[in-house]
Amino acid sequence: MNSEKKKGTRCAGPDVKGGSPEARKTAAAILEVLAGGITPTDAAGALGVSVPRYYQLECRALEGMVTGCEPRAKGPGKSPDRALAALAREHERTKRELARSQALARAAQRAVGLSSLHAQKKSDGKPGKRRHKPMVRALRAAERLKVAGPQPEVAAGIRSENLAGALAASG
């Protein structure tokens, strides 16, 4: 059983950590006044302050005690690292959502038969690159022959000579 406490021992009170010696002395004096052990005038004299200043200190101490009695938030506290990680996760999520929405929009445009704006931008290419239209080799060769070939009258004369020579040889 847990009732094996030593007789005559009492709890010595809370072990308050932190605070300067001056702050601890002020807190002890205020608690003694509130408990009725000494008067505010005696506490002000022990602290070396005037009575109105003592009452200001007492008011601040009570405000701090009420603030300290507020319920604390459950779970781990907020830290800048955690907030940054949460924002990074949110950013990645919104990037994925944007990519998904863009893909759905492209699919809807293809289904309806509209060309997408993205495809039109790509066809323009980079501003220094010139896109050339693909051409069939035969058309390209014919175009070269037109530009570099002999005059039509000379070409007709050559044909008739070749034809005459071919006929004389065969006949």
What is the value of pTM for the model shown? 0.41
Nearest to 133 by CA among 155, 125, 167: 125
Evaluate whether 53 touches 43 at the Cβ level (below 8 Å).
no
Which residue type does 53 have?
A: R
Task: Classify 16 as helix, strand or coil.
Answer: coil
Measured CA to CA, the distance from residue 24 to residue 10 in angstroms comes to 22
Please choose, from the candidates 32, 63, 65, 64, the residue with its C-alpha nearest in 3D space to the C-alpha of residue 41: 32
Write down the residue that tokens 């009575």 correspond to. 51
Residue pointed to by tokens 């009732």: 3
**pLDDT, tens only, 89-106:** 999 999 999 999 999 999
**In angstroms, rounded to a whole number, what is the distance separating the alpha carbons of residues 119 and 123?**
6
pLDDT in tens, 111-121: 888 765 555 55
pLDDT by 10s per residue, the chain, length 171: 455 555 656 666 677 788 888 999 999 999 999 999 999 999 999 999 999 999 999 999 999 999 989 998 888 778 899 999 999 999 999 999 999 999 999 999 888 887 655 555 555 556 667 776 666 777 777 777 887 755 555 445 555 555 555 555 555
